[in-house]
Structure 1
Amino acid sequence: MRVDVLGDVLALARVDASLMATFDARAPWAIELPARQGASFHAVVAGTCWLTVDGMPPRRLAPGDLVLLPAGARHELATDPDLPTRRFDAELKRSLIQPDGELMLAGPGARTRILCAGYSYEAHAAHPVLSLLPPVLQVATAQPKSGPWLRTVLDLLAHETRGGAATGSDTAAVRLLDLLLIHVIRAWLDTGGDAVGVSWLRGLRDPVTARALAALHQRPGHDWTLDALAATVNVSRATLARRFTHHVGEPPLTYLNRWRLNVAAHKLRNTTLQVAAIAHEIGYTSEFAFNRAFARAHGHPPGRYRRHTQRADC
């Protein structure tokens, strides 16, 4: 069974997509999008525009360009980066929204069409994913390796957002945004992922480390030893330890312990399983040992953690 480590982590962190707007504007125009909790995403479907993020030079976006701002940084979109901006707030949104839900900005010039979305993630998730990415991640559907797949998903997304009241169009758009996020990160890793720091995300680029990560994610409750994991990925114990630690920043079994406790935290938040059952599922033979390890990692023993996070979500 092939395990998708990236998808596994995204699911555990409950990274959820929501379509914010389809923006259709004619030049000249310039808008400021305030910082938000979560990530911001833009896909240019037609026309061109400029993206400006504080502290960075403006970058030109062309049709087929996709931009992810993992930390939801304040940014500007404009036909000219020197134009004065209008802040995109509730009042501006009300003035631009059309009966079909699109945001339209009239003007005499060239047309630009952008799909804008957001990604939120579970505040209590301890296994970061979006935080490991650079402040601005840009990929293009013109790139040869990942571009065709990105283009296909983007075309489907554009089709669904034009569907208006078509049955299931909103649900289809959100599912496609989930898929698009994985493809964007994958494409970035293929082309510009050297910028990522030492982490499990960097480890996905190394074939030996990626196979080891997949094995640990597939069977987190297994009684892994370094020898057993090395045999599973068909390398020596020394090679596995060296490459895994170099890319991920910690030895395989240290990573496994953290991943087990993150899985446990997810189960405590989202299931009614007893603490003892969760401990057994992730490979602990002693509930006492699990309680101690969990408290060190998350600041509270499992029972108190469950009560605290349930109150926070109310």
Structure 2
Amino acid sequence: MDILTEVLASMRTGRPVSVRTTGRAPFGLKLPPVAGAGFHVVLSGTCWLVPLEDAAPQTALALGPGDVVFLRDGRGHILADHPSTPAETERASQFSPGSPLGTVNVGGEGALTDLLCGNYHLDQTRPHPLVKQLPEIIHLRAEPFRHPELASAVQLLRAELEQPRPGAAGIVPALIDSLLLYILRAWLERHPAEQARGWAAALADTSIAPALAAIHDKPGSPWTVESLAVRAGLSRAAFARRFNDLVGEPPMAYLTRWRMTTAARLLRESESPLSAVAARTGYGSEYAFAKAFKRAHGQPPGGYRRQMRPAGPEGAGSDTAADAQLIVPG
């Protein structure tokens, strides 16, 4: 069980929306907050990222070729050739037939900066603790041999965007999907101190990791602290204490969290009846399941499904060009 992959998949509510942004100095583009996580990849040139909440020159990040920025909560920000350049409001992206992403052109006639911008649709109403423990902004500079897999993904994206060939419509979205995991992996490898505590440590802990894998693999099983402690090879008290220290909540609280996360994903992505969703998440009746789901998500499961899967042929998670035009990059 790859828990990192499973956690991210559980939060996803649709395919990533991506836009190739071309800026010529002087340029400044204001990007509002998005419901998910934002990202930018600098394909060529240089620019600055200025958070809207701290729109002061000293808070700006200087970005160069190959740099990657991940915005955990999709916070609003400005992309500009210089922190002092006035920013214009966001604009709708344009889509060409068959293109896997839109395009935005902004600025004057000066130096060129080429970026891949976008956002991953994530359910931020109940963010997973693993994601909450990440910094609000992750900036990974392009350093030779530091993160070879991430660098390779960026190079592949650049090649596909600069010289589109048959298959690009399938390759580019797959690379953007992979980019999220490469970003998080690179950040964890770059900050070994973070791996000594919290979720990074839990995933590597020889006692807690097997218990987490069991919960994620079979959320509907009648787990107890005792049975999970057996998986961990610890006493009940030692397991509960270590689990709480690393994961940030008691084992049964996390089990309930993961069951509700799994249920929400099933409601979004499948046609399974509520009785089947209840059974797969460890509830003996629809009533008990509905009560727990409403307590966790603020609405009954049927209402949640209708909200997340609107009527229409595409349903929830649609990533058509028409839908994507409503979502500005970043």
Q: By the TM > 0.5 criterion, same fold? A: yes
CA contact (8 A) 1:160 1:170 kept: no
Aligned to 1:21: 20
- In structure 2, what is the Cα distance between the partners aligned to 1:63 and 1:121? 27
- In structure 2, what is the Cα distance between the partners aligned to 1:76 and 1:218? 41
Stretch moving more, 7-16 or 27-36:
27-36
Change (3 A) 1:17 1:252: same
Offset at residue 112 of structure 1 (A):
2.9
CA contact (8 A) 2:12 2:120 kept: no
Offset at residue 245 of structure 1 (A):
0.5
Listed as ranges, the matches of 1:275-294 within 5 Å are 275-294=274-293
CA contact (8 A) 1:132 1:201 kept: no
Identity %: 37
Aligned partner (choices 13, 32, 35) of residue 30 of structure 2:
32
- In structure 1, what is the Cα distance between the partners aligned to 2:204 and 2:61? 27
Change (3 A) 1:209 1:104: same
Matched, 1:6 2:8: no
CA contact (8 A) 1:49 1:79 kept: yes
- In structure 1, what is the Cα distance between the partners aligned to 2:66 and 2:204? 25
1:244-283 per-residue CA deviation (whole Å, 9 max, x = no partner) reads: 2012221112211221122123223332222222222222
Change (3 A) 1:202 1:301: farther
CA contact (8 A) 2:220 2:279 kept: yes
Q: Secondary structure at the match of 1:86?
A: coil
Listed as ranges, the matches of 1:5-84 within 5 Å are 5-15=3-13, 16-23=15-22, 25-53=23-51, 54-55=53-54, 57-84=59-86
The one of the two structures with greater contact order (alpha-carbon pairs below 8 A, sep at least 6) is 2
CA RMSD of aligned residues (A): 3.3
Stretch moving more, 33-42 or 127-136:
127-136
Offset at residue 217 of structure 1 (A):
0.5
CA contact (8 A) 2:18 2:118 kept: yes
Change (3 A) 1:26 1:304: closer
Aligned to 1:249: 248
CA contact (8 A) 2:206 2:232 kept: no
Q: Secondary structure at the match of 1:118?
A: strand
1:16-57 per-residue CA deviation (whole Å, 9 max, x = no partner) reads: 31221142x454443333333333211112232222113261
Aligned to 2:159: 159
Aligned to 2:87: 85
CA contact (8 A) 1:26 1:112 kept: yes
- In structure 2, what is the Cα distance between the partners aligned to 1:199 and 1:221? 25
- In structure 1, what is the Cα distance between the partners aligned to 2:120 and 2:141? 20
Q: Secondary structure at the match of 1:293?
A: helix
- In structure 2, what is the Cα distance between the partners aligned to 1:13 and 1:139? 23
Matched, 1:117 2:130: no
CA contact (8 A) 2:20 2:117 kept: yes
Offset at residue 104 of structure 1 (A):
6.9
Q: Secondary structure at the match of 1:256?
A: helix
CA contact (8 A) 1:28 1:79 kept: yes
- In structure 1, what is the Cα distance between the partners aligned to 2:143 and 2:81? 21
CA contact (8 A) 1:221 1:260 kept: yes
CA contact (8 A) 2:35 2:123 kept: no
Structure 1: gaps (5+ residues): none
Structure 2: gaps (5+ residues): 317-330
Q: TM-score, normalised by structure 2?
A: 0.76
Amino acid in the other structure paired with 1:243: R
- In structure 2, what is the Cα distance between the partners aligned to 1:31 and 1:5? 36
- In structure 1, what is the Cα distance between the partners aligned to 2:48 and 2:29? 11
Offset at residue 148 of structure 1 (A):
0.5
1:181-212 per-residue CA deviation (whole Å, 9 max, x = no partner) reads: 1111222233348679x975774465543343
